[in-house]
Copies of this chain bind each other. A is one copy, B any other.
Amino acid sequence: MDRTVIGEAGRISRPNLPLLLLKARESVIRPFRPIFNRYDLTEQQWRVLRLLADQTEVEQREVAEACQILGPSLAGILARLEEAGLVRRARAKADQRRVFVTLSAKGKRLIAEMAPLVDAEYQRLESALGGELMASLITVLDRLLELPAVTENGEAPT
């Protein structure tokens, strides 16, 4: 089954799944950006704060995993969030390598203020997509992520 397709200008254009996913994500996230900007947060900072609002006492590595942010990026993000007084970091007593991250009172207030706006925008997104398309998206993406061949880290160890 050849999915190759002739594009607008007669060029060959194979379906480009990574690019398609990039465009889809950009479309979905775009309307949220003004909200983040209004509160001087980046998209990534919001992702971290939102996680902490739901979980309380998360290890830094869990934050990285859950928010899909690499270690070196997260180090800076948390430093800035702490500098802004929104977050606190503390080394675990049991294992001095690990760091626990917590939302500060100020952070909680900020989340409480922003959450309704973000949730409302999400509602708008859901009604724009319709329940059926939304469900299809989630189902298909979950199926993709469940594939062992896709989940594997890829590079064989030396």
What residues make up the interface of A, taking CB atoms closer than 8 Å to B?
A: 1, 3, 9, 11-15, 17-32, 34, 47, 54-55, 67-68, 122, 125, 128-129, 131, 133-138, 140-145, 147, 149-151, 153-155
- The answer to whether residues A24 and B145 also contact, given A17-B137, A68-B19, A140-B133 and a CB cut-off of 8 A, is yes
Q: How far is the CA of A92 from the CA of B110 in the complex (A)?
A: 49
- In contact, B31 and A25 (Cβ under 8 angstroms): no
Q: How far is the CA of A154 from the CA of B125 in the complex (A)?
A: 11
Which B residues lie within 8 Å of A144 (CB)?
24, 27-28, 129, 133, 137
Copies in the complex: 2
Of all A-B residue pairs in the complex, the 3 with the closest CB atoms, nearest first, are A128-B149, A21-B25, A31-B154
- The answer to whether residues A19 and B47 also contact, given A24-B144, A27-B150, A144-B133 and a CB cut-off of 8 A, is yes
Which residue of B has the minimal Cβ distance to A47? B19
CB distance from A157 to the nearest CB of B (A): 13
Of the listed residues A17, A31, A122, the one surrounded by the most CB atoms of chain B closer than 10 A to its CB is A17
- The answer to whether residues A54 and B24 also contact, given A144-B137, A150-B128 and a CB cut-off of 8 A, is no
Q: How far is the CA of A28 from the CA of B140 in the complex (A)?
A: 14
- In contact, A140 and B136 (Cβ under 8 angstroms): yes
- In contact, B29 and A18 (Cβ under 8 angstroms): yes
CB distance from A81 to the nearest CB of B (A): 18
- In contact, A138 and B68 (Cβ under 8 angstroms): no
- In contact, A137 and B140 (Cβ under 8 angstroms): yes
- In contact, B145 and A17 (Cβ under 8 angstroms): no
